[in-house]
């Protein structure tokens, strides 16, 4: 066990209490002001060299002033609470027992934030002096538009890391990729007629139903990536709407909303062409349109910054310097190799690595299955493991 693992163990209670504090602060996506202010306050208290809040609302804290940049990222927005009757504890309780911290965001993804803060505290106390500037980013609006916060940081503020680590929940396994995703809106037209004589019209509802079944077929036909690391892409019809002139008429308009997960080698152009092809086969004509919508919500600071709902696939090869440095850092802390794998869900690394090609890995406390679920919780021991890993990695690169 190295010094970082020892220090992380000493700060177990600090990590748990930090997580509890920020879980208690409601921070639904786009409404993160209070938790960002608290995190900035904590970062200042532990002696970060620089702490600021960017125009989009994310907290950006720096330790060290080296030429290279290593960024650790945690999004601190959460999904909403869902069915309150499904919770056995108050959803924002931040309760702590011997094993867990409880509450919305405990795993997804405030646990990573708490472990980052703990690692920064350790590095500050141990006198971090490597040739790196360490950036700890506590980012906003990920649940609505993953990666937009980092698109802003890279493209507008020119904060371009050499390497990045996402602290999304990975059960303390080392992740080196995940599928990308995109959203699509399909519009289909029919011909309206009076409901008493449907034979005079062409129902957009029936076309939409056949189109939805075509998406089920497309989902079954999608193939995994060549090395079967990320697995197959998927497509889901997440919403359908039909309408017409009245409730007594054949509907002449339909909309399908699609969630498409993209494996390695798949991109937006391919995905759109597949949707058009399968729907044409099902209804005898191409849909009126298949488009990627834009994300157009404004964050808590009122700064207008938008992007299309496209989030590129990313992966880093296992022999890459960053991945191998992660393996070494883990070994130095715990005397064994980590599991190296990938996420099922999507993270801010769709922007950092997928869009901007910055080598990245993932390592975070908590389990992916806790994300968006009732009775969310995070193991305190995971916070310890991650704080040790982050501080060790900063000294291994």
CA pair distance 185, 293, nearest whole angstrom: 7
Query: Catalytic annotation on 54?
Result: no
CA pair distance 115, 121, nearest whole angstrom: 10
pLDDT number for residue 13: 98
CA pair distance 284, 297, nearest whole angstrom: 36
CA pair distance 179, 314, nearest whole angstrom: 7
Question: DSSP character for 265?
Answer: T
- pLDDT tens-digit series, residues 138-178: 999 999 999 999 999 999 999 999 999 999 999 999 999 99
Burial 98-133 (b: 16+ CB within 10 A, else e): eebbbbbbbbbbbbbbbbbbbbbbbbbeeebeeebb
> Which structural domains are found in the chain, ordered by start?
3-178+313-396 (3.40.630.10), 181-295 (3.30.70.360)
Q: What is the pTM of this model?
A: 0.95
3-class state of residue 141 by DSSP: coil
CA pair distance 50, 42, nearest whole angstrom: 12
Query: How high is the mean pLDDT in each 10-residue block of the chain (397 residues)?
Result: 94 98 98 98 98 98 96 98 97 98 98 98 93 97 97 98 98 98 98 97 98 98 96 98 96 98 97 98 98 94 95 98 98 97 97 98 98 98 98 95
Q: Which CA distances in Å does 209 have to 204, 205, 214, 216, 222?
A: 9, 6, 9, 11, 20
Query: Catalytic annotation on 266?
Result: no
Q: Exposure of 357 by Cβ count < 10 A (0-12 exposed, 13-18 middle, 19+ buried)?
A: exposed
CA pair distance 381, 387, nearest whole angstrom: 10
Q: Are 360 and 175 in contact (CB under 8 A)?
A: no
pLDDT number for residue 1: 74
172 backbone φψ class: left, alpha, beta (φ>0; ψ -120 to 50): left
pLDDT number for residue 120: 98
- Angle between helix axes 380-396 and 111-125 (nearest 10 degrees) is 50
Active-site entry in 32, 54, 142, 143 = 142
Q: Where are the beta strands (DSSP E) in 169-285?
A: 174-175, 177-178, 180-189, 234-243, 253-262
pLDDT number for residue 129: 86
Centre a 10 Å sphere on the Cβ of residue 254 and count the other Cβ atoms it contains: 26
Q: Tokens for 91?
A: 């959803």
């Amino acid at each position: 066990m190295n010094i970082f693992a020892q220090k992380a163990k000493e700060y177990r209670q600090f990590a748990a209490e930090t997580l509890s504090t920020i879980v208690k602060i409601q921070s639904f996506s786009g409404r993160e002001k209070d938790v960002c202010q608290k995190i900035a306050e904590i970062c200042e208290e532990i002696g970060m060299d620089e702490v600021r809040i960017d125009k989009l609302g994310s907290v950006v804290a720096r330790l060290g002033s080296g030429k290279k940049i290593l960024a650790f990222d945690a999004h601190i927005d959460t999904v909403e609470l869902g069915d309150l009757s499904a919770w056995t504890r108050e959803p924002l309780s931040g309760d702590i027992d011997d094993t867990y911290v409880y509450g919305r965001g405990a795993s997804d993804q405030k646990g990573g934030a708490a472990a980052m803060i703990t690692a920064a505290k350790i590095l500050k106390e141990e006198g971090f002096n490597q040739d790196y500037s360490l950036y700890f980013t506590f980012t906003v609006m990920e649940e609505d538009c993953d990666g937009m916060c980092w698109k802003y940081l890279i493209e507008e503020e020119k904060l371009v890391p050499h390497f990045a680590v996402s602290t999304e929940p990975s059960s303390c396994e080392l992740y080196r990729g995940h599928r990308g995703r995109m959203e699509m809106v399909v519009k289909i037209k029919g011909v309206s007629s009076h409901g008493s004589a449907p034979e005079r019209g062409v129902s957009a509802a029936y076309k939409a139903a056949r189109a939805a079944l075509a998406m089920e077929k497309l989902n079954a036909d999608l193939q995994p990536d060549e090395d079967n690391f990320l697995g197959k892409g998927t497509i889901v019809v997440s919403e359908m709407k039909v309408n017409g002139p009245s409730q007594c008429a054949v509907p002449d308009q339909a909309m399908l909303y699609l969630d498409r997960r993209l494996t390695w080698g798949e991109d937006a152009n391919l995905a759109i062409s597949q949707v058009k092809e399968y729907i044409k086969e099902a209804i005898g004509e191409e849909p009126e349109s298949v488009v990627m919508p834009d994300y157009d919500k404004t964050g808590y600071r009122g700064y207008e910054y938008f992007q299309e709902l496209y989030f590129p696939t990313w992966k880093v090869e296992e022999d890459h310097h960053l991945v191998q440095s992660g393996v070494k850092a883990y070994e130095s802390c715990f005397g064994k190799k980590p599991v190296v794998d990938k996420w099922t869900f999507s993270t801010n690394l769709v922007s950092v690595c997928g869009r901007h090609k910055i080598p990245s890995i993932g390592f975070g406390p908590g389990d992916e299955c806790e994300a968006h679920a009732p009775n969310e919780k995070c193991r305190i021991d995971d916070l310890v493991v991650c704080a040790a890993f982050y501080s060790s990695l900063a000294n291994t690169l």
